[in-house]
Amino acid sequence: MRTIQKLTFQLVAAAGILGMSACSKLDPKLGAPNQIAPTTSGGAPTPPSLAAVYEQLNSMSGNQGNWFAMQEHTTDIIMGPTRGTDWDDLGTWRRLHLHTWDGDHNQVRDTWNGLNGALFQTTLIAETATGATKAQGQFLRAFFRYITCDLYGQVQTRPATAPAKEIPAVLTRTEAIDAIIKELEECAPNLPVYNITNRRQATREAAWALLAKCYLNRAVYKQDPTKPAGPYTFQKADMDKVIQYANQIATNPLLQVDTYYWDNFTWDNGSKSSENIFVRHNGGDAVAGNGTGLRWTWSMGTHYNQVPDGWNGFVALSQFYDSFETPSPLPPTAAGWVPPPA
């Protein structure tokens, strides 16, 4: 009996030793450069730097695929041919050319993800920031919504305060165009005036230009989805808005129609062009963040066995090439690279 008592005492004492060991609360510990993102009083995550949101534009300007390919390979301007064992890439270019893509197509999916990532980030700024920062966030959200609506015919939206697992609501084309116009008209007065150096950022003129574009195409977006090919009914009120916003832009003397159109596309278009309103800068920018390299714009047109070497060897279709007047002002190239005027 004494043994059992002793044993019990020893067991209890030993259990005590175990119990004394300091318990961890298992709180996560982070290290630079990452931190736990704080939550605002409204329940939304604290928005990122505006520059980081501008960098979302890089998903469009970063490479020859995705947004660019969806716009161009689906037309006759660019085609990605397969040459025997070369460049099939699981049919990604062919499917764009033949219009046989679906939701599984890697570029259709990746572009969607990129644009929706941008919509998420711009929503954080547009809904939680104030003043000019909020206005820029609103402009950028409207811009990405416009691109998304143009490509996919629908736009996702979700409040900044919503939990991550919530599936976003969907705006139809009709709803989206109204939301885009509303947001642009709301933010335009709070944006800075265009002064050339800020053409990499959202300006009043950039908002007006996008508004003019929206109103110009409003009838298309408002079209009965069962008859997407038209005919469209363009409202006079919309056209008046187009004229109004275009005229507003024209009042800024720093913006002029270029006498030589191709100046908009030269490597030094930053100083040569007086027409570009909203651009992505190739290099660092304190406000608009880091841009992307543009090597793809010429590398995609040449092949890696060529000198100088390139990548995909994309081509233009002959009918398209031949559709240019003879003599054409310049040899057109799909890559956007244009030799300077003679």
Partner 1 sequence: MLQRLQRVILPVLMLMASLAGQAQNKTVTGRVTDARDNAPIAGASVVVKGSKTGTTTNADGSFTLSAPANALSLVISSVGYGTIEVAIGSNNKVQASLASETGSMTDVVVVGYGTRRVKDLTGSVARVGDRDFNKGQIATPDQMLQGRTPGVLVTPASGEPGAAATINIRGTGSISGAQEPLYVVDGVPLQQGGTLGSASGAEGGTTPKNPLMFLNPSDIESITVLKDASAAAIYGSRGANGVIIITTKAGRGGKKGQFDFNANTSIAQTARRYDLLSSEDFLVGAKKANIDGGADPLGAQEAVKAIDFGANTDWQDQIFRTAISNNYGLNWSYSNKGTTARLSGSYDNQNGIIKNTSLERMTARANLGQKLLNNKLKLETNLTYSNSKNSYAPITNNAGFQGSLLGVALKANPTAPVYNPDGSFFTSDGQRNAVQMLNYFTDNDNVNRFLGNFSAEYQIAKGLSYKAVLGLDQVESERISFADPRLPDGVYGIGDIGVFGVQINGSANAGNGRTTKQNLTSTSQLFEQYLTFDKSFGKHALNAVAGFSYQNFETKYTGKAGWGLNTAVGKPSDVFVKDFNNFKNYIDFVPGYSSNELQSVFGRVNYTFADKYYLTATVRSDGSSKFGANNKYGTFPALAAKWDVMEEGWAKNTLGKLFGTFALRANYGRLGSQDNLGAYAALNLQQVYSVRGGTPITRFIQQGNPDLKWEEVTTSGIGVDLTSKNGRFGLTFDYYDNMRENMLFFAPTPGGFAPTSYWWINLPGKVTNKGVELSLNVKAIDGPKFKWDLNYNMTTVNNSITGLPIQINTGEVSGQGLTGSFAQVLSNGSPIFSWYLPVFQGFDGNGIGRYENNSQNAISGSALPKYFAGLTNNFTYGRWYLSVFVNAITGHYVYNNTANAFFLKGSLKNARNVTYDVFNSNENPFNGNGPSTRFLEKGDFLRLSNLNLSYSFDVSRLKGVRSLSAYFSGQNLALWSRYSGIDPEVNVDKSINGIPSRGFDYTQFPRPRLLTFGVNVGF
Q: Among residue numbers 248 through 287, which ones bind partner 1 (CB under 8 A)? A: 282-284, 286
Q: Which residue has the tokens 């008209």?
A: 185
Q: Tell me the site size for partner 1, rule CB under 8 A.
A: 74
Report if residue 5 touches partner 1, rule: CB under 8 A. no
The least CB distance from residue 87 to partner 1, in Å, is 5
Residue-by-residue DSSP string for 91-135: GHHHHHHTT---TT-HHHHHHHHHHHHHHHHHHHHHHH--HHHHH
Structural tokens at position 120: 């998420």
Residue list 71-130, contact with partner 1 (CB under 8 A) = 82-92, 106, 110, 112-113, 116-117, 119-121, 124
DSSP code for 155: E
Report if residue 51 touches partner 1, rule: CB under 8 A. yes
Report if residue 189 touches partner 1, rule: CB under 8 A. no
Q: Is the peptide bond before 308 cis (omega within 30 degrees of 0)?
A: yes
Helix (H) or strand (E) holding 143: helix 131-152
Sign of CA dihedral 152, 154, 160, 166: negative
The least CB distance from residue 331 to partner 1, in Å, is 24
Out of 46, 195, 247, 256, the only residue in the binding site for partner 1 (CB under 8 A) is 46
Report if residue 166 touches partner 1, rule: CB under 8 A. yes
Report if residue 39 touches partner 1, rule: CB under 8 A. yes
Angle (CA) 184-190-193 rounded to 5° is 95
Report if residue 16 touches partner 1, rule: CB under 8 A. no
Please, which residue, 212 or 313, has the CB nearer to partner 1? 313
The least CB distance from residue 282 to partner 1, in Å, is 7
Report if residue 49 touches partner 1, rule: CB under 8 A. yes
Residue list 297-316, contact with partner 1 (CB under 8 A) = 304-305, 307-309
SS3 172: strand
SS3 287: coil
Report if residue 182 touches partner 1, rule: CB under 8 A. no
φ, ψ (nearest 5 deg) of residue 321? -60, -45
Please, which residue, 92 or 136, has the CB nearer to partner 1? 92
The least CB distance from residue 150 to partner 1, in Å, is 17
The least CB distance from residue 144 to partner 1, in Å, is 11
Q: How far is CA 250 from CA 135, 215, 247, 277, in A?
A: 22, 17, 5, 12
SS3 205: helix
Please, which residue, 242 or 310, has the CB nearer to partner 1? 310
Structural tokens at position 295: 């090597």
C-beta of residue 155 within 8 angstroms of C-beta of residue 171: yes
Please, which residue, 284 or 329, has the CB nearer to partner 1? 284
